[in-house]
């Protein structure tokens, strides 16, 4: 369904076009002159405008010029009974899609309208495809045999073909965007777009206009009407990554979209309804953010309908060999095939990977490029990985003849590190958790294990 503006000073032609287009399933707005047409264009973004050329006041050429300034993506078809070659050439130069002579055949007009809307649709799809290709340039591998990950895979299959909102939590680099895409592409919306928005990458004012679109003159720089990403993803899925970075003011507007599936463009006056699935993600503990007053409680509960938590890589060490082999295969393309020595893989297994799978992928890519020979050796592993391994070994310089109590030793070390992290952050648990490379949930659990809260 498209929104079409019909402009003609002749009532019979206006009514005929409106009836025909509505029967085809389109929303239609009619204007009896150029001035009314431009008022309508200031209040709404049209997919297509069909305008008569010869009209009193602002003629069709004037409407075309102004429409292309107000809403450059609107396709314009010119219709006239008084054709001249000069007018036709001028209209095409100004960006008209086609120039039709009255009287016209209905089937011919329907075909032109269909083709023009198809062209606009393909243009929008190309824009979304470019965003999709860009968003896939980083972490794109969904591999694992860890029990926690197997539960995630199972949950994706269960919830994919529903319309319910999903909240994905996990540290940066664990693959939250990948889970969102797996849900989308296993759902009935898979043939519609999925649009990814990093809420932490844009300032509030720009993020709002990107999400909801804006009308010409809404703010400095708004030189034309523009649809937002919620509209661009109509019928599909929108993935709001790092939603915890949004401001309270924007959270109120997001809450309305979740409740009513409608919103208003920046500077607009009409509500726009969208059929869309919302998936959100956060690398922060939203419970903690709600407690701190930085995230709305009502929005949290609206988002947390179907929660998915991704474990950090340090909690799924058994997946490191699988992921390493996958990244080796991926990065060996076009190069001499390389494998990894067992002692080198052991170093990777013992590292804590604060950047999670994304960090592992980047490390393997670097090793494939820089390591000499056909095998990656332990001495070629980055220093940060080797030094972490050395630090852990230095916990005990040697094992005495009487042996050691490993559990007690590890518990003592863990308690001391928890205390040191809290001391360093002045008791701020979220910051202490980050220092130790833990999620807030894991940090809190470890504290409780030792009788602290």
pLDDT single digits (tens) 259-306: 999 999 999 888 999 999 999 999 998 988 999 899 999 999 999 999
- At residue 225, the pLDDT reads 86
Co-location of 28 and 91 in the same domain: yes
- 168 and 297 fall within a common domain: yes
Distances (CA, A) of 37 to 17, 126, 241, 342: 15, 29, 39, 72
Q: Clarify whether residues 216 and 142 are in a common domain.
A: yes
Here the CATH number for the domain that contains residue 441 is 1.10.10
Q: pLDDT by residue (tens digit) across 348-368?
A: 998 989 899 999 999 999 999
Residues 6+ apart with CB under 8 A from 368: 328, 331, 332, 335, 338, 376
Q: Of 122, 146, 172, which residue is a domain's last? A: 122
Q: How far apart are CA 418 and CA 128, in angstroms?
A: 45
pLDDT band with cut points at 50, 70 and 90 for residue 343: very high
Is 162 in the same domain as 254? yes
Please check whether residues 35 and 183 belong to one and the same domain: no
CATH number at residue 68: 3.40.50.2300
Q: Does residue 399 belong to any structural domain of this protein? A: no
415-443 average pLDDT score: 86
Length reported for the chain: 453
* One domain, residues 307 and 323: no
**Once rounded to an integer, what is the mean pLDDT over residues 212-237?**
88
Assigned domain for 9 exists = yes
Mean pLDDT of 102-108: 86
112-116, 124-128, 136-140, 255-259: least confidently modelled range: 136-140
pLDDT at 1 over 80: no
In a domain, 188, yes or no: yes
Question: Do residues 190 and 278 both lie within one domain?
Answer: yes
Over the chain, what is the mean pLDDT? 86
Task: With respect to residue 131, please indicate whether it lies within any of the assigned structural domains.
Answer: no
**Per-residue pLDDT band at 390 (split at 50, 70, 90):** low
3-state secondary structure of 180: helix
Same domain, 176 and 307: yes
Of 190 and 396, the one with more pLDDT: 190
Q: Is residue 148 part of a domain?
A: yes
Distances (CA, A) of 430 to 412, 438, 445: 22, 9, 13
- Domain assignment present for residue 342? The answer is yes
Whichever domain contains 175, its CATH number is 3.40.50.300
Half-sphere exposure of 372 (CA within 13 A, CB side): 1
Lowest mean pLDDT among 148-157, 372-381, 443-452: 443-452
Q: How far apart are CA 101 and CA 23, in angstroms?
A: 23
Domain coverage including residue 31: 3-122
- Per-residue pLDDT band for 42 (boundaries 50, 70, 90) equals confident
Does some domain include residue 400? no
């Amino acid at each position: 369904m498209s929104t079409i503006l019909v402009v003609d000073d002749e009532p019979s032609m206006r009514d005929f076009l409106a009836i025909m287009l509505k029967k085809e399933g389109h929303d239609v707005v009619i204007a009896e002159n150029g001035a009314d047409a431009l008022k309508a264009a200031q209040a709404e973004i049209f997919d297509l405008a069909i305008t008569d050329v010869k009209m009193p006041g602002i003629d069709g050429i004037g409407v075309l010029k102004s429409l292309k300034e107000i809403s450059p993506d609107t396709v314009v078809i010119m219709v006239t009974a008084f054709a001249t070659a000069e007018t036709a050439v001028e209209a095409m130069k100004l960006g008209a899609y086609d120039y039709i002579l009255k009287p016209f055949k209905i089937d011919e007009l329907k075909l032109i309208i269909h083709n023009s809307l198809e062209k606009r649709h393909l243009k929008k799809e190309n824009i979304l495809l470019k965003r999709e290709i860009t968003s896939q340039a980083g972490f794109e591998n969904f591999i694992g045999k860890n029990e926690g990950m197997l539960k995630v895979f199972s949950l994706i299959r269960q919830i994919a073909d529903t319309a319910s909102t999903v909240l994905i939590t996990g540290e940066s680099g664990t693959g939250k965007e990948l889970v969102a895409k797996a849900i989308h592409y296993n759902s009935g919306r898979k043939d519609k777009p999925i649009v990814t928005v990093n809420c932490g990458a844009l300032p509030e004012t720009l993020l709002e206009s990107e999400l909801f679109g804006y009308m010409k003159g809404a703010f400095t720089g708004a030189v034309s009407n523009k649809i937002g990403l919620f509209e661009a993803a109509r019928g599909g899925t929108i993935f709001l990554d790092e939603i915890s970075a949004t401001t309270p003011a924007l959270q109120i507007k997001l809450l309305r979209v979740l409740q009513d599936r409608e919103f208003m463009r920046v500077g607009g006056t009409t509500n726009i309804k969208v059929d869309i699935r919302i998936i959100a993600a956060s690398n922060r503990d939203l419970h903690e953010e709600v407690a701190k007053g930085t995230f709305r409680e009502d929005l949290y509960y609206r988002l947390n309908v179907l929660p998915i938590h991704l474990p950090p890589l340090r909690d799924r060490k058994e997946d490191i060999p699988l992921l390493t082999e996958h990244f080796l295969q991926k990065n060996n393309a076009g190069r001499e095939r390389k494998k990894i020595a067992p002692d080198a893989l052991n170093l990777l297994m013992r590292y804590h990977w604060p950047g999670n799978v994304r960090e592992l992928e980047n490390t393997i890519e670097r090793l494939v490029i820089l390591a000499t020979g056909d095998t990656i050796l332990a001495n070629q592993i980055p220093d940060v990985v080797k030094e972490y391994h050395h630090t852990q070994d230095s916990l005990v310089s040697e094992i005495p003849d009487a042996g050691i109590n490993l559990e007690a030793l590890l518990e003592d070390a863990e308690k001391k590190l928890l205390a040191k992290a809290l001391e360093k952050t002045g008791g701020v648990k979220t910051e202490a958790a980050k220092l130790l490379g833990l999620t807030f949930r894991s940090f809190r659990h470890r504290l409780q294990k030792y009788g602290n809260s």
